[in-house]
Amino acid sequence: MPAPDSIRVAVVGATGYVGAELVGYLAGHPGARLTAVTSEQSAGKLLADVHPFLQGACDLGLVPFEPKAVAGEADVAFTALPHGASAAGVAALLDAGVEVVDLSADFRLSDPEEYARWYGTHPVPALLNEAVYGLTEFARAALPGARLVANPGCYPTGALLGLLPLLDAGHIETHGIVVDSKSGVTGAGRTVAAEYLFAEISDSFRAYKVGNHRHAPEIDGNVRARTGGDHSLTFVPHLLPIKRGILSTIYTRLRPGVDLAAVEQTFRARYEQERFVRVCGTRLPELREVVGTNDCAIGWAVDGGSNTLVTVTVIDNLGKGAAGQAIQNFNVMQGLPESTGLERVALVP
């Protein structure tokens, strides 16, 4: 049972896959008390009527999203609205004094022109610079005291956790980077479209949006911060016939003099204190090891003939790729132990 003095939180957009996952995490979070859940389409119903698996975890009724009403009930809001629809609501929440962890893409790109290329004109560009990009392991210093956290995209989380230590250490050539990612279907949210029907996905597999996925500029921007733009990177997402999880296979060329030992030393040094990053070494992690958790597991191999480093990262797109990392960011923002409410074991088998 949450203590009476725990932090009051709201989930805005609670019936989507990310929203429901947030509720599941918050139900077991001893430092947060869920006080409001919103939905436009299902307002008036209980959340547990829409999602029976949440019976016992949440007995709240769904209400339409009203920033001021949320402000009356919550100290912090997790916003899980569609891209483009989130920014204005987030601004209103901030104005009303509510801190926000935003799980849409609306505050992930710092450049309003880049944002406009992918999502249309940004309604509150002034907030783009204030938002802290919440890849927790690389954002920890900026989170305490932040009013607004832009929770990273699922693909960027998996890609950047594998790439950034190598870039920071100068181990890899910055040109010719390939990120080949494979995601479960929930990465597309609860979109009701023929292409996501069971009978269209099961037993199949495909690449999509090669060269024009919205997460590409988010990955690129974070790499650019290390290279000043002197890099080239190809990102190709694929759709796995499973529900959850992203495995990214990252191809880079090692710089002269960098060997397997140096790679190992760098990953271990960077992540050895991290509760949610598991360094596997040359044992390549499987997707299922992290499904249902906030963990990222990283392994690698060197292909000797081509001097190519193959780095593999796995996350749960709804965990470390969305709701889990949002809770992690919330914990750091609020000064709680970082793993509060996040101590889960993957559901294997």
Q: Could you give the residue numbers annotated as active site?
A: 154
Cβ-Cβ contacts under 8 Å for 20 (sequence gap 6 or more): 14, 47, 51, 54
Q: How far is the CB of 331 from its own copies (least distance, A)?
A: 17
Whether 287 and 319 have beta carbons less than 8 Å apart is answered as no
* Residue 165 interacting with its own copies (CB under 8 A): no
Q: Considering only residues 268 through 297, tell me which ones interact with its own copies, judged by CB under 8 A.
A: 275, 278, 280, 283-292, 295, 297
User: Nearer to its own copies by C-beta: 150 or 309?
Assistant: 309
Whether 84 and 214 have beta carbons less than 8 Å apart is answered as no
Binding residues with its own copies: total (CB under 8 A): 86
Residue 52 burial (CB count, 10 A)? 9
Which H helix or E strand runs over 23?
A: helix 17-27
DSSP SS3 for 230: coil
* Residue 228 interacting with its own copies (CB under 8 A): no
Which residues is 9 bridged to in the sheet?
Answer: 34, 76
Q: How far is the CB of 62 from its own copies (least distance, A)?
A: 16
Given 4, 56, 97, 257, the residue binding its own copies (CB under 8 A): 56
Cβ-Cβ contacts under 8 Å for 239 (sequence gap 6 or more): 182, 183, 185, 187, 188, 201, 205, 206, 207, 208
Instruction: Kindly report the backbone phi and psi dihedral angles of residue 49, in degrees, each rounded to the nearest multiple of 5, phi listed first.
Output: -75, -35
State the Cα–Cα distance between residues 34 and 114, nearest whole angstrom: 35
Which range of residues in 59-67, 112-120, 242-250, 329-337 is near its own copies by CB under 8 A?
242-250
State the Cα–Cα distance between residues 248 and 320, nearest whole angstrom: 14
Q: How far is the CB of 312 from its own copies (least distance, A)?
A: 5
Q: How far is the CB of 196 from its own copies (least distance, A)?
A: 5
Which range of residues in 82-90, 144-152, 161-169, 233-241 is near its own copies by CB under 8 A?
233-241
Q: Considering only residues 294 through 333, tell me which ones interact with its own copies, judged by CB under 8 A.
A: 295, 297, 301-308, 310, 312
Given 55, 121, 129, 265, the residue binding its own copies (CB under 8 A): 55
Which range of residues in 76-84, 86-94, 104-112, 243-251 is near its own copies by CB under 8 A?
243-251
